[in-house]
């Protein structure tokens, strides 16, 4: 049984969780210290499968902004995983290196930047 | 003459035709088929995934009776019960001489050409040659094969069951025993509960695996894997197979993962659910143009063994009789592998059931 029964349920849980992350001092420091590479206007995009969903981190007025659903934003980093794996990851129950090696999470973009936006 | 199922064009149903069957030449054997299994490899040819010359008589998992032998044949005589061996190794090439008859270069050549060793076949139809799949051409009342392609067997095992030894049982059990060499107390995952997958499961049980995780998308087949030795099942339609296997193995992955489907994605899954220093065995046949994507960093950092297994790395003259002895001793299950029996005329129904994942093994029974 998948953790999330629908795209909306995923947005309600993970989207809200990311909104809380956006309020933290760490995320504010991140925005202040991170400059996007030319051609990109979003930091990271999480593509989920089963259910299909997409959450993108961009910025607005010096703050982290969370966009749930389809978007034209161009993220510098893309993480692709099943929603179950994503859920486990954000619970801190998944080792990133192992998850990458097992292709549970696929990353496109500079992995070094990913380390800044992961727990 | 013989009634045979002929593939004339890729993607089209087989047609039942009266084909001419010439007598056996030197070193060849004429077999009257009694039973033949429907395998995904046959279906791959129908789909055009394994391009071979057409028209062709498919079928390679068969058993029958020796009808006639050509000059110089010494390993069988008229009346012997035999199982077809679709890797009739030459005994002379480098692979044969180094103990790998499953990789025989000559047998591989015959597979690619659809012929007997002299470059021709004994089948013809409407005045033109008809090729034979994997040297066998088992979807025919009679076939002519090289003598290395017939393995004499004990007479007390029904032909329907003996036929299975010739592909699905040898491939599945052999992948466990010969290729992976599964050790007692190991953990095993098997992707694909089909004719081969069930035999990997029972092979792993024979080898003493403590945990055998069967993975498929058909709940009925998953339920049945437990009677063959599976300790856990994962429905890959409902949950991510890699995560499920990690959950069942304390996050370590399995010592041995076997892929018996033939899809690049499930091959990668098999690799990804294997533990560090574990072994992944690819048994399923993919189309020649397909590629598998695996994580590059994992290759040195996880030190897994990724290998393949062709006919279970078997040596048919030695292994087929052994497997039948294991059946006779009650240690191998064969009857439950047969989901449905068809007449030769119903062969397309059998392939439809195969394609839909309905059957473990569909079998053609030839009329007496």
Question: pLDDT (tens digit, 9 = 90+) per residue, B108-163?
Answer: 999 999 999 999 999 999 999 999 999 999 999 999 999 999 999 999 999 999 99
Query: What's the rounded Cα separation, in Å, for the pair A116 and B98?
Result: 54
* pLDDT(A114) > 80: no
Question: Please, which pLDDT band fits residue B353 given cuts at 50, 70 and 90?
Answer: very high
By annotation, the residues of B acting in catalysis are 39, 41, 44, 60, 167
Residue B297: closest CA among chain A residues belongs to which residue? Answer: A101
Q: What is the pLDDT of residue B322?
A: 97
Contact indicator for B8, B55 with CB cutoff of 8 Å: yes
Closest partner residue to A102 (CB to CB) among B238, B272, B293 is B272
Is A100 in the B-facing interface, judged by CB distances under 8 Å?
A: yes
* pLDDT(A70) > 70: yes
Question: pLDDT (tens digit, 9 = 90+) per residue, A21-50?
Answer: 888 888 888 888 888 889 999 999 999 999
Question: Please, which pLDDT band fits residue A115 given cuts at 50, 70 and 90?
Answer: low
Contact indicator for A50, A84 with CB cutoff of 8 Å: yes
Query: What's the rounded Cα separation, in Å, for the pair B143 and B136?
Result: 7
pTM: 0.90
* pLDDT(B168) > 80: yes
Mean pLDDT of chain B: 96
Instruction: Centre a 10 Å sphere on the Cβ of residue A91 and count the other Cβ atoms it contains.
Output: 10
Q: What residue spans of chain A are helical by DSSP H?
A: 7-10, 16-22, 25-33, 83-90, 96-101, 111-114
Residue A102: closest CA among chain B residues belongs to which residue? Answer: B272
Contact indicator for B19, B130 with CB cutoff of 8 Å: yes
Residue B33's nearest CA partner among B6, B60, B69 is: B60
B295:A102 CB<8 A: yes
Q: Which two tokens stand for residue B343?
A: 């007449």
Contact indicator for B191, B270 with CB cutoff of 8 Å: yes
Question: pLDDT (tens digit, 9 = 90+) per residue, B71-83?
Answer: 999 999 999 999 9
| B26-to-B23, B72, B123 alpha-carbon distances in Å | 10, 6, 16
Contacts of residue B281, Cβ cutoff 8 Å, sequence gap at least 6 = B175, B179, B180, B256, B257, B258, B259, B270, B307, B308, B309
Query: What's the rounded Cα separation, in Å, for the pair B315 and B136?
Result: 17
Question: Please, which pLDDT band fits residue A119 given cuts at 50, 70 and 90?
Answer: low
SS3 A64: strand
Residue A49: closest CA among chain B residues belongs to which residue? Answer: B240
Query: What's the rounded Cα separation, in Å, for the pair B221 and B227?
Result: 10
Question: pLDDT (tens digit, 9 = 90+) per residue, B172-220?
Answer: 999 999 999 999 999 999 999 999 999 999 999 999 999 999 999 999 9
* pLDDT(A118) > 80: no
Contacts of residue B288, Cβ cutoff 8 Å, sequence gap at least 6 = B49, B50, B51
Contacts of residue B244, Cβ cutoff 8 Å, sequence gap at least 6 = B213, B215, B234
Q: What is the pLDDT of residue A30?
A: 80
Percent residues over pLDDT 90 in chain B: 95
Residues of A in contact with B239 (CB under 8 A): 1-2, 84
Cα dihedral value A68, A74, A80, A83, nearest 10: 0
* Mean pLDDT of the B19-34 span: 97
User: Is the N-terminal amide bond of A37 cis, ω within 30° of 0?
Assistant: no
* pLDDT(B31) > 70: yes
Residues of B in contact with A104 (CB under 8 A): 240, 242-243, 272
Separate counts of helices (H) and strands (E) for chain A: 6, 5
Name B280's bridge partners: B257, B306
């Amino acid at each position: 049984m998948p953790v999330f029964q629908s795209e909306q349920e995923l947005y309600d849980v993970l989207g809200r969780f990311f909104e809380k992350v956006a309020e933290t001092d760490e995320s504010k420091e991140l925005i202040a210290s991170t400059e996007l590479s030319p051609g990109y206007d979003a930091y990271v995009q999480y593509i989920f499968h089963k259910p299909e969903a997409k959450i993108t981190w961009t910025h607005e007025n010096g703050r982290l902004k969370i966009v749930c659903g389809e978007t034209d934003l161009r993220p510098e980093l893309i993480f692709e995983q099943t929603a179950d794996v994503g859920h486990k990851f954000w619970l801190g129950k998944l080792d990133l290196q192992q998850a990458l090696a097992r292709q549970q999470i696929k990353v496109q973009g500079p992995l070094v930047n990913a380390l800044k936006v992961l727990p | 003459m013989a009634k045979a199922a002929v593939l004339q064009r890729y993607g089209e149903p087989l047609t039942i035709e009266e084909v001419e069957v010439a007598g056996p030449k030197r070193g060849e054997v004429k077999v009257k088929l009694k039973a033949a299994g429907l395998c995904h490899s046959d279906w791959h040819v129908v789909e055009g995934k394994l391009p071979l010359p057409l028209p062709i008589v498919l079928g390679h998992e068969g058993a029958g009776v020796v009808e006639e032998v050509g000059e110089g044949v010494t390993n069988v005589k008229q009346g012997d019960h035999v199982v077809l061996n679709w890797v009739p190794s030459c005994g002379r090439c480098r692979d044969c001489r180094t103990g790998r008859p499953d990789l025989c270069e000559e047998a591989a050549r015959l597979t690619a050409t659809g012929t007997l060793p002299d470059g021709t076949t004994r089948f013809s139809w409407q005045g033109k040659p008809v090729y034979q799949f994997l040297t066998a051409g088992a979807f025919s009342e009679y076939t002519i094969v090289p003598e290395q392609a017939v393995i004499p067997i004990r007479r007390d095992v029904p032909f329907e069951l003996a036929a299975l030894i010739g592909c699905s049982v040898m491939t599945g059990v052999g992948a466990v025993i010969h290729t992976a060499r599964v050790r007692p107390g190991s953990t095993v995952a098997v992707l694909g509960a089909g004719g081969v997958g069930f035999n990997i499961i029972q092979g792993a049980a024979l080898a003493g695996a403590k945990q055998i995780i069967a993975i498929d998308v058909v709940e009925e087949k998953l339920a049945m894997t437990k009677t063959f030795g599976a300790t856990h099942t994962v429905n890959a339609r409902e949950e991510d197979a890699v995560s499920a296997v990690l959950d069942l193995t304390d996050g370590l992955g399995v010592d041995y993962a076997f892929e018996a489907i033939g899809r690049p994605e499930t091959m990668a899954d098999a690799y990804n659910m294997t533990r560090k220093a574990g072994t992944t065995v690819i048994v399923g046949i993919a189309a020649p143009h397909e590629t598998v994507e695996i994580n590059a960093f994992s290759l040195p950092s996880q030190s897994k063994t990724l290998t393949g297994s062709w006919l279970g790395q078997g040596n048919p003259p030695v292994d087929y009789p052994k497997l039948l002895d294991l059946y006779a001793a009650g240690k191998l299950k064969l009857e439950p592998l047969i989901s449905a029996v068809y007449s030769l005329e119903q062969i397309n129904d059998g392939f439809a059931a195969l394609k839909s994942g309905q059957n473990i093994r569909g079998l053609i029974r030839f009329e007496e």
